Structure 1
């Protein structure tokens, strides 16, 4: 087209691929299994079951132009790729506004699955991961899971970053999770500022009924690290002794004495929560580089990732990331291995109850030592 003696390129329509977003999703699901995992961070079976769960609870439905499968695919695609919404718009042949709308819709739908998927552990029987392992049985036969906190990326306005920095250079959110020994999350509290220490979040979780923390019944307990109080329901290691598995690896000496042996076995079993965090962060890059969503939406993104984590564990025992992190001796990143240096916040528990839990730990440590010929 010539205007005033110069040529101007005619406008070209954008997103004109012959392969619609729905057709592309069908092609991916019907193609090589590795392609589905690479693009959506889960295999076909888990993807289909996630869609079915969302349809079952009636939080998602087919729209005129976008099926449930495509809506979920958009959400997972945005979580898993650096270019996120702009790349998704080109891939699914929708406007940025449409991509944003469905991302938000699926985000809150997945968070609605929390009450069905992130549920308390069974208190009736000893977990098979303990009962079938002489390393842990019978010492931890009443243990129901492990608890810890981890930091995920947060995108915060410059003038609001101070509470989110903590000991990290970049802003983060601190989230507390409990998990069972089959690597499923049983409780998630996300959205705390990065400067909040683990014990403060823990105290809020267990003391506020609105949080619905799954408190264990009498004589049952979670494993926690030394940043938490050793009290009924929560068994922590001995302070001032070697604890982390790296302290016992390589040229380091094996456990010496009752306390070190207890700490070593405690750390080996509690390591399951660190491995859960390892799977979570490796699967979802968004937890390491959060986009500039609202803080409320960032909080729900972290929760949604935990929900998807559980759905995959429920429906795909052969998921590559779970297989990679199933071994308790797997090398974890430093951020996930090292407990924060923090001052334990005192909880409202009577001194006699604290002494009883301390005596229980001492008896357990002595029994471990005696059984190994110490």
Structure 2
């Protein structure tokens, strides 16, 4: 039996809940809304427990070598293993430490949900734990992926947009290309880096909750986000098409000038030199 308030009783929306979706499911199943909430958490936790089975970043030299070859089989950027970017996870403003979740656009979010993907449009890492006010540079530098890339001896690199700082392991576009070599590099870089944007688009088509505002306890939101990433990879494994879902208008991230990696100018210089070498190499391939 579903317990309801008298029609003349004041309605109250519990903080950090999604009354619309959860209450609707509760009515359909003839259960209490709290039962739906607990079930959602239980299912999300069960899916998240399998994240290491379905979301894996190459963390050895051998696996990095395999990833480099996989990328090279369909793309032109040398020694690249994937792309990196961030997306917003909008939330209602928490009552405690709420300002920490307000991002640069003035929107309350778990931002940035940082993710990497490979050439097969499969996510290889995801981090959905940081409040909205945290700078992308801090998220990146504190991630396991950064440590792996920093220490890799294969010369592996990720593709990132101009919001990231250039490093030997993170190739970014030239901000103001002035030569045919730089223009050619930027063209190829944009074409190949958009794989991460396609992944985010597919993810949000499959799981519309990622397009809207989460109204859940703040500690439960990362579980739901990561669950979506896990299910995306399972769907790709099963070759489940995403084209039947409604199209998503992808948000455009604001480019932010970052402090050089680790505040070490020599790393940025090495990254700039490697980018120049890559730009020259791929330009020579077509000329």
Scaled by the length of structure 2, the TM-score of the pair is: 0.80
- 1:319 is the counterpart of 2:241: yes
Trace 1:57-76 onto structure 2 (pairs within 5 A): none
Equivalent residue for 2:34, pick from 97, 103, 108:
97
- 1:289 is the counterpart of 2:226: no
**8 Å contact kept, 2:81–2:156:** yes
- 1:224 is the counterpart of 2:160: yes
Trace 1:271-286 onto structure 2 (pairs within 5 A): 271-286=194-209
Cα-Cα RMSD: 3.1
Measured in 1, the distance between the counterparts of 2:122 and 2:166 equals: 24
Q: Partner of 2:7 in structure 1? A: none
- 1:240 is the counterpart of 2:203: no
Instruction: Write out per-residue CA displacement over residues 112-170 of structure 1, whole angstroms, 9 at most, x where no aligned residue.
Output: 111111101442334545314xxx33xx2311111111111112235643222223343
Equivalent residue for 1:333, pick from 249, 259, 262:
249
Equivalent residue for 1:176, pick from 114, 130, 136:
114
Equivalent residue for 2:269, pick from 331, 355, 369:
355
How far the C-alpha of 1:188 sits from its partner, in A, is: 0.8
Q: Partner of 2:188 in structure 1? A: 265
Q: CA distance change for structure 1 residues 230 and 213 in 2, over 3 Å: closer, same or farther?
A: closer
Measured in 1, the distance between the counterparts of 2:213 and 2:233 equals: 21
| Larger RCO of the pair (alpha carbons < 8 Å, separation 6+) | 2
How far the C-alpha of 1:261 sits from its partner, in A, is: 1.0
**8 Å contact kept, 1:148–1:198:** no
Q: Partner of 1:197 in structure 2? A: 135
Measured in 2, the distance between the counterparts of 1:360 and 1:161 equals: 41
Equivalent residue for 1:131, pick from 68, 73, 92:
73
Give 1 or 2 for the bigger CA radius of gyration. 1
Q: Partner of 1:304 in structure 2? A: 227
Trace 1:113-132 onto structure 2 (pairs within 5 A): 113-121=50-58, 122-125=63-66, 126-128=68-70, 130-132=72-74
Q: Partner of 2:21 in structure 1? A: 84
How far the C-alpha of 1:216 sits from its partner, in A, is: 4.4
Scaled by the length of structure 1, the TM-score of the pair is: 0.63
Instruction: Write out per-residue CA displacement over residues 323-361 of structure 1, whole angstroms, 9 at most, x where no aligned residue.
Output: 889xxxxx97351xx332323123237655543432222
Instruction: Write out per-residue CA displacement over residues 25-75 of structure 1, whole angstroms, 9 at most, x where no aligned residue.
Output: xxxxxxxxxxxxxxxxxxxxxxxxxxxxxxxxxxxxxxxxxxxxxxxxxxx
**8 Å contact kept, 1:275–1:332:** no
Q: Partner of 2:15 in structure 1? A: none
**8 Å contact kept, 2:80–2:156:** yes
How far the C-alpha of 1:362 sits from its partner, in A, is: 1.3
Q: CA distance change for structure 1 residues 332 and 291 in 2, over 3 Å: closer, same or farther?
A: closer
Q: Which runs of 5+ in 2 are unaligned?
A: 4-17
- Give the total of aligned pairs: 267
Q: Partner of 1:50 in structure 2? A: none
Q: Which runs of 5+ in 1 are unaligned?
A: 1-12, 16-80, 243-255, 326-330
**8 Å contact kept, 1:225–1:237:** yes
Q: CA distance change for structure 1 residues 187 and 94 in 2, over 3 Å: closer, same or farther?
A: same
